[in-house]
Amino acid sequence: MQDNLNARDGGGDAGRERPRRASEQAQPLSDREVPLAGSPTSEMINSWLDGDTPEPVAVSAESARQVDLWRRIEEESQRRRHLVTPAHVKAQIMAALPADVPQMALPWWKKSMHVSPVVAIAAAAGLVALGAAIGNSVRIR
Amino acid sequence: MKTTVPTSPTDQLEVDQDIISRVLAGDRDAFSTLINRYSDPLYRHALGMTGSPDVAEDILQMSFIKAYQHLAEVRGRFDAWVFRIVANGCKDWLKNIRRTHLSYDEDDQPSGYSTPDEELDRTELRSDLDRALMTLAPSLREAFVMKHVEGRSYEEMADLLGTTVGALKMRVHRAREALQALLEEKYA
């Protein structure tokens, strides 16, 4: 008997593709290891979009289409570059700020400590009791 | 980062530090100067990363409140510090929320010089570009948005993100390649 090495791929159903898991489908396109469909963005276009060279003169129909596509994307990007924060948002932020003045977060050893008289007396009594207990144990030895 | 008042980076740093000192001394209203100065590029970043005006507004608001609460901890440039708060807010949102819809339609303002056909075509590209952007990994989307939508230089991006120019160029190029693969069938 032969082991079925393709059990995960749907058993004996030759030619039937294993359905893709949801996690695989949701994976960002750019994270996939397979090559992207379509033609790669040429060095010429990257150089133009990076501002290193002027807009390229297309030498082929394909590169002309790519240049046109990126010109349109750049137009849309330019439009978005002029979007401003809606006025009401600034007012909302100011209204939502805490009333307290922001303070520097101090480490615990730098923070001032307030001790009430009752707590101070209790702590002193505790220390006296502890000292007496230690003294007794030393005397016994 | 673009500011409303053209000043050199050193002047800008000094002006910001002066404002921060005033806020820490109890002048709460002085904080509005920082909001007016830096909210627009931060809003565009949040909008580009999330694709939703409502979410971008929420992230901006939470980020400025956080900035206010921790204002005494600012060391160096306020704009770079608050940018990191917004960028982290966007990344946290992307980690936690699955997108249900995305559109810029809510604040689309038809331009006065285009024909209805041109406007329709442009609106279609907008939503297709948004959809394509949302398929990119967050690091690629961030690099593309900062370069193309915010119009930053690679050096500025490297400074804000704490990485190298080479790494950012690689991210932007990969983002372009992915976007082109998604859009060229329809538009090219």
The larger pLDDT score, comparing residue B125 to residue B160, is at B160
Q: Which residues of B touch A43 (CB under 8 A)?
A: none
pLDDT at B11: 83
Rounded to the nearest integer, the mean pLDDT of chain B is 85
CA dist B52 and B55 (Å) reads: 5
The answer to whether residue B181 neighbours chain A at the CB level (below 8 Å) is: yes
Instruction: Among A55-69, B70-84, B111-125, name the one with the lowest average pLDDT.
Output: B111-125
Q: Residues A19-30: what's their mean pLDDT? A: 53
Chain segment B76-114, per-residue pLDDT in tens: 899 999 999 999 999 999 888 754 444 434 344 444 345
Q: What is the mean pLDDT of residues B143-151?
A: 95
Answer left, alpha or beta for residue B97, where phi above 0 means left and psi between -120 and 50 means alpha: beta
Q: Is the pLDDT of residue B16 over 90?
A: yes
Complex confidence, ipTM? 0.77
Mean pLDDT throughout B51-78?
94
Residue B34 contacts residue B78 (beta carbons within 8 Å): yes
Q: Rounded distance, CA A141 to CA B3, Å?
A: 77
**pLDDT beyond 70 at B179:** yes
**Could you tell me the pLDDT band of residue A39, with boundaries at 50, 70 and 90?**
low
Instruction: Find the DSSP H helices in B6-153.
Output: 9-24, 31-50, 53-69, 78-96, 116-134, 138-144
Cβ within 8 Å of A, B 45-104: 47-48, 53, 57, 60-61, 64-65, 68-73, 104
Distance from CA of B10 to the nearest CA of A (A): 24
Q: Is the pLDDT of residue A122 over 90?
A: yes
| pTM reported for the whole predicted model | 0.69
Residue of higher predicted confidence among B170 and A58: B170
Check pLDDT > 50 for residue B52. Answer: yes
B121 pLDDT above the threshold of 70: no
What kind and span of H or E run contains A6?
none
Contact A80/B149 with Cβ under 8 angstroms?
A: yes
CB B95 within 8 A of CB B51: no
Residue A15: per-residue pLDDT: 44
What integer best gives the mean pLDDT of chain A?
76
Query: Which of A48, A78, A93, A103 to probe the B interface (max B CBs under 10 A)?
Result: A93
Dist CA B153 CA B147 (whole Å): 7
Share of chain B above pLDDT 90, in %: 68
pLDDT for the residue numbered B93:
92
pLDDT average, residue stretch B61-71:
96
Cβ <8 Å between B28 and A85: no
